[in-house]
Structure 1
Amino acid sequence: MSHSSLSALVQEARTTGTLSGLPDGHLINGLRLPSQNGGRMETIDPGTGKAFATFAAGDAADIDAAVAAAQAALTGPWRALTPAQRGRLLLQIATLIRSHGERLAVVESLDSGKTLTEALGDIAGAAATFEYYAGACDKHHGDSIPLGENYLAYTINEPVGVTAHIIPWNYPLSSAARGIAPALAAGCTVVAKPAEQTPLTALMLADICLEAGLPPGVCNVVTGTGRQAGAALVRHPGVHHISFTGSVPTGIDVMQGAAPNVTRLVLELGGKSPVVVLADCDIDAAVSNVLGGIYENAGQICSAGSRLVIDRTIHADFVERLVKRASAMTLGHGLRRPDMGAVNSLPHLEKIAGYVERARARGVSVRCGGQRTSDPETGQGWFYQPTILDQLTPDDEAIREEIFGPVLCVQTFSDLDEAVALANGTDFGLVAGIFTRDFSRAHQLARRIDAGQVYINEYFAGGVSVPFGGNRKSGFGREKGLEALRSYSKLKSVAARISCPEPP
């Protein structure tokens, strides 16, 4: 990566408050288009609280056009490509993401508020996702079924059809890639609706897909609000599969909207993930992982390690170490690469602050942070201090509900049974972390904790090859890994008698 090019982009953004040449229209059937109703919206830099670009605000008419383009593309040149040819296109998309990576990262930081370091990591992850599914295209095959010598039986994986992707604001490009890459690998077409807070990198990704040689109509992006554009996409009868990442209430709305058309769903919803720390753990490693698990992206991660469930014999020393390091974290505009960037929006900042203020009013111990703040250089933006709420009870609001911010909630246990009960003590089941030197106990806990993914001795371990998704109110279905290809495929079984009985 060219450091001088990245420096120039950062300088332009910091000097002008924006970047030139940002996409501002939908990408439908290979064309950049305004909304049919002429609507426009602003996107705001959370690090300043100021708008830095405008974009098209679509509605049902734009969704209709995008779905029609995706339907037509299913029977066009895209269908004629072999799996290996699709794989080469996806590999080219990965290459182009990397070549445009500096610009994508700066735009992602401006749009979401995350630090440039985090954004660069997200862009690298998006490229790796397309690279992974490029290699999987020609390996996604069916099975033969032994029915005896007089029969031939086999299964075929066929593309499910037009896929809808409702993309969240916390990881705009990463989440887009996580759904779009396996959908394309399976031979589907795509209509994506990015969050209205962070529309730009999804539009840039659609441009990259065209640049790579993807036929027009295969990957379409419509921007706008969830109410106007997202709901129309979910309810569209021409959509065959929906991938949604977001909150539980909105996920319920998506299920209800999809039900009349019996549309298939993958839902990745909220989390209140426990990090279970046993007394025999590597303390230094566990402290670092707990900090990263809750304060990366200002805690705005569905799988954030938002609950520390710790052996009470090491609780005091462990939390003291956390407080010292959390209190020393730097905050500021993401392009300056602080330890932690801004919260995505003012309403979300107010939501986070409300949880902490109510906890303080209940007498909960706020060990550090607990206050709104701003960029120390400019006095602008939406920031919240890294916060630790200590010794919470299982029924506390801050334990049971997803705060989705830089707020760590601490619970203590005396034995493994209590640790499991606390870990499983919410309505969520997305991920869990375990820190111990005893691998027998680690894997016992991994079996007993109800979560879609368990990390042992490294929070956020794994990557694109490891399936990801939740249980209970954290949703259902799996993204990532080869499991995602199954989400975007429909299985056809064929059984034939190949030996006819002799005529009488």
Structure 2
Amino acid sequence: MMSVSAQLVEEYFASGTLTGLPDKHFIGGSWVAPAQGGKIPTFDPGTGRAFHDFAAGTAEDVAQAVAVAKSAQRDWGRAKALDRGAILYRAAMLLRQEAARFAVVESLDSGKPLQEAEGDVAGAARTFEYYAGAADKMQGDTFPLGADYLGYSINEPVGVTAHIIPWNFPISTAARGIAPALAAGCTAIAKPAETTPLTMLMLAELLHRAGLPAGVCNAVTGTGQAAGAPLVSHPDVRHVTFTGSVPTGTGVMQAVAPNVTSLVLELGGKSPLIVLGDADLDQAVDGVIGAIYENAGQICSAGSRLIVDRRVHGALVERVAERARGLQIGHGLHRAMLGPLNSDAHLAKVAGFVEDARSRGLSIATGGATTTDPATGAGWFHEPTVIDAVPALDPIVQQEIFGPVLAVQVAEDEDHALDLANGTEFGLVAGIYTRDFDAAHRMARDIDAGQIYINEYFAGGIEVPFGGNRKSGFGREKGLVALQSYTRVKSVAARIASHG
């Protein structure tokens, strides 16, 4: 019998679309048509062709979503934590049951290989499961004020929260923000990226089917200017979680400032993957390939800079380049090893970085050109690229490319590798490959980044806090610490009258 995934893939390539895709906002527990009736096409990056239209939201739609979220806030915030957790757990189970459809839609909308989308959906389900277990474990404290006083604290939900979802990991990013917000008793409004709107809409509806009351989680689609901007600046939104570029993130900071709204920013990165001279090169090569070519390098925490000890530089770069050349390029639904970039505009941006590097005389060890799906001659693809021996201040090192482009930097020793690692304005993550326990943890201590991986890039899971320093943003998502963004502490101190 053909699997659900295979049936959906067959349906898409036979018809050019999928039946039942959402084309309206999800507000107040129902599908709601856009106030002004507008529609926006969403494209399949593997073919460059539009396959569906969705709602073009405006400030009117945002206002409606905020109003229903605000109305739902009181009851949801006062619901038993056990009941909130039970709903999140049912959502996790439903997401696992419907994982095949979610993964196919995620792959189709974003372009990423289906096997990667399947991993994202599984991770999203695990996220709801994790915060389901955390919901009834957020406890206050008591304060030692002496025998005549009682002092205690209460963790209260902050209120209505807004979630601006990026296009590179739509369902993953949505889950890691919305799940802790709901667990903490907040209501949520999500605005997915205009190039990847579908799985967020599907997720909002799934949460409602899992038992989430109407209005507690809403999804409004549209452009950043027409829908995102009025959402983050709305005075009834009390917290914003934003994932995206540094320029847009600074704009969000300015937008929320007049309302004194709290904010988590997960912005760009130019993360180093450091290979010291004693490292296991087989392990390191695997790490480098996954770190830069997963999702075609469209990952904020991608290991986009390989900092390698000069003693193993030549051997490592040769092996990485050979592996990169062997990556099969193709449509995401065909489970290719390297999928397309998310849009034609982004492809042009990535290609521009590489062409500028070539014009400066940098050595391109492999790749370096745009391409198409070999099976169809269509789509927005870029060859997996390695640029060798890049100077520390070159734009290829200093600027986020957000594509399958690896910059190689040569280090003379451990201290030099550390200087190179800290040599950009970003501080999101870093990877270290070495057999030397002391060296690994010295570097983990001294690298300015929010998360460090040792001998496995992307190690960890929802249990491990994630977020950046400097221009990579502030605040932490994932782990128990993420709940702090969605709660406020109320302290109570009471004098106890003496008896008699």
TM-score (norm 2): 0.99
In structure 2, the residue matched to 1:284 is 282
Matched ranges for 1:397-412 at <5 A: 397-412=395-410
Matched ranges for 1:31-430 at <5 A: 31-76=30-75, 78-430=76-428
C-alpha separation in 1, matches of 2:78 and 2:159: 14
SS in structure 2 at match of 1:313: helix
Matched ranges for 1:425-464 at <5 A: 425-464=423-462
How far is 1:366 from its partner? 0.4
The answer to whether the 8 A contact 2:78-2:185 is kept is no
In structure 1, the residue matched to 2:9 is 10
Letter in 2 for 1:96: L
- Structure 1 runs (4+) greater than 4 angstroms displaced: none
C-alpha separation in 2, matches of 1:474 and 1:363: 29
Letter in 1 for 2:409: Q
C-alpha separation in 2, matches of 1:151 and 1:395: 60
How far is 1:378 from its partner? 0.7
SS in structure 2 at match of 1:75: helix
Letter in 2 for 1:48: T
Judged with a 3 Å threshold, the aligned counterparts in structure 2 of structure 1 residues 3 and 242 are, in CA distance, closer, same or farther, namely farther
Question: Structure 1 stretches of 5 or more lacking a match?
Answer: none
Q: 1:421-455, CA deviations, whole angstroms, 9 ceiling, x for partnerless residues?
A: 10000000000000001111100000100000000
Letter in 2 for 1:438: D
How far is 1:15 from its partner? 1.5
Judged with a 3 Å threshold, the aligned counterparts in structure 2 of structure 1 residues 219 and 360 are, in CA distance, closer, same or farther, namely same
How far is 1:80 from its partner? 4.1
Letter in 1 for 2:419: A
C-alpha separation in 2, matches of 1:223 and 1:98: 24
SS in structure 1 at match of 2:303: coil
How far is 1:371 from its partner? 0.5
RMSD: 0.9
Q: 1:55-76, CA deviations, whole angstroms, 9 ceiling, x for partnerless residues?
A: 0000100000000000000123
The answer to whether the 8 A contact 2:48-2:379 is kept is yes
C-alpha separation in 1, matches of 2:126 and 2:261: 29
The answer to whether the 8 A contact 2:34-2:57 is kept is yes
Q: 1:332-365, CA deviations, whole angstroms, 9 ceiling, x for partnerless residues?
A: 0001001011100000000000000000000000
C-alpha separation in 2, matches of 1:26 and 1:4: 30
* Identical-residue share of aligned pairs (%): 62
In structure 2, the residue matched to 1:465 is 463
C-alpha separation in 2, matches of 1:123 and 1:255: 30
Letter in 2 for 1:269: L
Question: Structure 2 stretches of 5 or more lacking a match?
Answer: none
Letter in 2 for 1:130: F
C-alpha separation in 2, matches of 1:129 and 1:231: 27
Aligned length: 500
C-alpha separation in 2, matches of 1:17 and 1:334: 15
C-alpha separation in 1, matches of 2:120 and 2:234: 31
C-alpha separation in 2, matches of 1:53 and 1:353: 27
Aligned: 1:23 with 2:38: no
C-alpha separation in 2, matches of 1:501 and 1:389: 79
Q: 1:176-226, CA deviations, whole angstroms, 9 ceiling, x for partnerless residues?
A: 001000000000000000000000000000010111010000000000000
Q: 1:101-149, CA deviations, whole angstroms, 9 ceiling, x for partnerless residues?
A: 0000000011000000000000000000000000000011111111111
In structure 2, the residue matched to 1:488 is 486
The answer to whether the 8 A contact 2:106-2:199 is kept is yes
Judged with a 3 Å threshold, the aligned counterparts in structure 2 of structure 1 residues 461 and 153 are, in CA distance, closer, same or farther, namely same
C-alpha separation in 2, matches of 1:400 and 1:89: 44
C-alpha separation in 1, matches of 2:441 and 2:492: 40
How far is 1:6 from its partner? 1.5
C-alpha separation in 2, matches of 1:482 and 1:3: 40
SS in structure 2 at match of 1:437: coil
The answer to whether the 8 A contact 2:309-2:410 is kept is yes
C-alpha separation in 1, matches of 2:244 and 2:280: 34
SS in structure 1 at match of 2:330: coil
The answer to whether the 8 A contact 2:39-2:55 is kept is yes
How far is 1:499 from its partner? 3.6
The answer to whether the 8 A contact 2:246-2:268 is kept is yes
Letter in 2 for 1:17: G
Letter in 1 for 2:408: V
SS in structure 2 at match of 1:314: helix
Letter in 1 for 2:46: G
TM-score (norm 1): 0.98
The answer to whether the 8 A contact 2:77-2:157 is kept is no
8-17 or 197-206: bigger deviation: 8-17
